């Protein structure tokens, strides 16, 4: 059931047909809290949001977040209620998002830091952060090589 009042910034079909390549759609129990994570922790831009939906952009990618209540007639509706946490083993990686800054913001906003920012053998400095819905975000930047 939609809770939005008024018209969205784009008609759903116009937005849907504008998407290209791979996009991600997250389903959130608390959309406002999810937006805090996106904006404050990850530094992403909220292109649009209302009580039902958010379009998010950052680091050369775009993704969507739908509130749980918009899935009342969706096949995932019964599954959502049974999930202990969301995201499973999927890592949502944001290349170019400074993991040290994201980690500091996550701590300040009381989100979970699963693993602190550290340099990895594959050449990236990354942190593992859980949002309030249990999605695992991995902001990363290339390791700075010391001369």
Question: Is it the case that residue 84 has pLDDT exceeding 90?
Answer: no
Q: Answer yes or no: is pLDDT of 86 > 80.
A: no
What residue ranges define each of the domains in the chain, with the CATH number in brackets? Answer: 12-142 (3.10.180.10)
**Of 71, 81, 75, 86, nearest in space to 34 by CA:** 86
DSSP string, 80-125: HHH-SSSSTT-EEEEETS-HHHHHHHHHHTT-EEEEEEEE-TTSEE
Specify the pLDDT at position 3: 78
Residue pair 54/34 in contact (Cβ under 8 Å)? The answer is yes
**pLDDT for position 147:** 64
| Mean pLDDT of the 66-75 span | 84
pTM: 0.84
């Amino acid at each position: 059931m939609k809770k939005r009042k008024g018209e969205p910034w784009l008609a759903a079909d116009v937005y849907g047909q504008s998407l290209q390549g791979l996009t991600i759609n997250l389903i959130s129990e608390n959309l406002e809290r999810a937006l805090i994570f996106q904006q404050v922790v990850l530094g992403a831009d909220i292109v649009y949001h209302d009580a039902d939906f958010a379009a998010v952009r950052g680091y050369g990618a775009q993704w969507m977040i739908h509130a749980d209540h918009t899935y009342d007639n969706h096949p995932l509706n019964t599954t959502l209620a049974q999930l202990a946490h969301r995201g499973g083993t999927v890592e949502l990686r944001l290349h170019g998002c400074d993991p040290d800054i994201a980690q500091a913001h996550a701590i300040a906003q009381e989100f979970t830091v699963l693993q602190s920012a550290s340099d990895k053998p594959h050449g990236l400095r990354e942190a593992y952060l859980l949002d309030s819905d249990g999605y695992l975000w991995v902001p990363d930047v290339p390791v700075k090589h010391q001369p």
